[in-house]
Structure 1
Amino acid sequence: MDEAITEIVDLNSQRSVVKKMECLVRCSKNIFNALKESRFGAPASADEFLPVLILIVLKANPPLIQSNLKFICRFGLPSRHMRGEYGYYFTNLSSAIYFIQDMRASSLQLTDEEFEDYTSGKRIPTSFKNSISTYVMRSIGNSIKRIDGLLSKQAELVGKVEQLEAGIERLINFGVK
């Protein structure tokens, strides 16, 4: 998720609409890749993407994000940034920003005290803790599978190297006689 955060923050440093949109696309693809990895390779759905994008925006606190969205709207070609991949990700980012702006204790069905605790970091939702631990465990599981695969390939390569060494040794011995 660090790559997604980096891309959304980097959006502000870009000077053109196209470069800003490219940052948004890379951010979004990083999110989808992380979701896919956490699901053991199963593709992520749009319903999973938006909440994670909201979390990324909250964690990154990208500078001048609203100004950047307005810049894209004002100076971008609607035929480019409102269609296809760009349009999909731009709409999701706009929705995430709108959700964050409109977020209140009552809209989340929390008391004012709970809302303050969550927004200040004093309290972390249990489901979030569980989702983090699930993500970590899945990531570890995926890493173990990759390591097992690499160890298997390494053993196979070692066997082939030993066969080559034996063949070279036979050729050397054959040439000496």
Structure 2
Amino acid sequence: MKKKIILCIFFIILFFSFLIFFYFNSNNEKKLIEKKKIELIDQENREIIEERIESSNIIEDVSYSAKDTRGNEYFLKASEGIIDQNNSNYIFLKSVNGVINLKNYRLIEISSDFGKYNINNYDTIFSKNVIITYLDNKISGDYLDFSWDKNLMIISRDVILKNDKNSLRADVIEVNIKTKDMKIFMYEENKKVNIQSLN
């Protein structure tokens, strides 16, 4: 009789032990599943937020303008601008058009496929298929560094200057937009600027 009671108590304890074990085990599994669900939701939300942040850096139909104390103006337009994530003072541009309107002088027009604009000092780098037109001159190249503060345009890489009279090839053309002076040179001293008369 005592053996039966002991066996019965043993099985009851064993039964409750299994119940407790399965209860805690299933709870842990539920918690793990919930944790994974939360992690997945967090990851999805993070990706959506990053996507929105990334897309919020893109601005369509960008335009900027600047005017100095002498009345000279600088206008810049682009089909698209992307704010630099490392430095918000810079904006990367696509399909860029610039106009420099100097007082008592004709317009200087600039176009390029790409650009980088500094919103603090208006300095702009134009790149790929750069074309500058002013007076009767058309200058083309692959890179233009324009500084509003220094009144300077430096165009380089496959530079060609054309007007009604001449066609000229050089490494660099430097234009001072304040004095209208132009420097044309090659990087290597032994190479000469190539000038062809069109008449």
Would you say same fold, with TM above 0.5?
Answer: no
* Greater RCO, 1 or 2 (C-alpha within 8 Å, sep 6+): 1
Higher helix residue share: 1
Q: TM-score, normalised by structure 1?
A: 0.27
Which has a greater percent of strand? 2
Structure showing greater radius of gyration is 2
TM-score (norm 2): 0.25
